[in-house]
Amino acid sequence: KPKGMSFIWLDDILNSVDSSLYEIIEPFQWCFFRDISECFQYIEQQLRQQNEIFLVVSGTLGYELFLTSFRFMSAIRFVYVYCSQIGIHGNWAQYYYQIKGVFNDPSALEKKLKQNIQLVRQCDDKNSSDGQLQPKITVSKENRMFCTICSIVRKKNS
């Protein structure tokens, strides 16, 4: 069970945050990185602390991460590709279950992030309750498949 949530944004050309992204960024404490190796170190630290990671990554760096470090990336359940070239990055991103979408619209990214954050909170509430007042969770076909894959991976790693 995750102990907390960690919000990470990796983009090598992120000079300043677009004002339209403040809706996403404002309610949470984000860590911004331009360098993959620094980001890796931080992610490793967050994983050791058993935090749930939400990673927003540029298309190019996302491609590099999954191509060179898939095993490492498989420990992160929530990855969002934010880029201007959805067609190009959507092609490779569709093969990784961790990637929850490829976005160029900040409001669509915000909506998906909030849905996934709510899902994690509901699961935490369900796991921490003593059998009373468990939340009703509607699980999509995609999430059922994701949960099945996770349980298989966990059993293999145990």
- Binning pLDDT at 50, 70 and 90, where does residue 130 land? very low
Cβ-count burial of 54 within 10 angstroms (0-12 exposed, 13-18 middle, 19+ buried)?
Answer: buried
Non-local CB neighbours of 84 within 8 Å, separated by 6+ positions:
59, 104
Question: Percent helix, strand, coil in the chain (nearest 5)?
Answer: 50, 20, 30
pTM for the predicted model, two decimal places:
0.73
Per-residue pLDDT of 13-47, as tens digits, reads: 875 555 556 666 666 678 889 999 999 999 999 99
Asked whether 48 and 93 are in contact (CB, 8 A), the reply is no
Asked whether 78 and 99 are in contact (CB, 8 A), the reply is no
- Binning pLDDT at 50, 70 and 90, where does residue 69 land? confident
Per-residue pLDDT of 78-112, as tens digits, reads: 999 999 999 999 999 999 999 999 999 888 998 99
- Binning pLDDT at 50, 70 and 90, where does residue 63 land? very high
CATH number of 4-157: 3.40.50
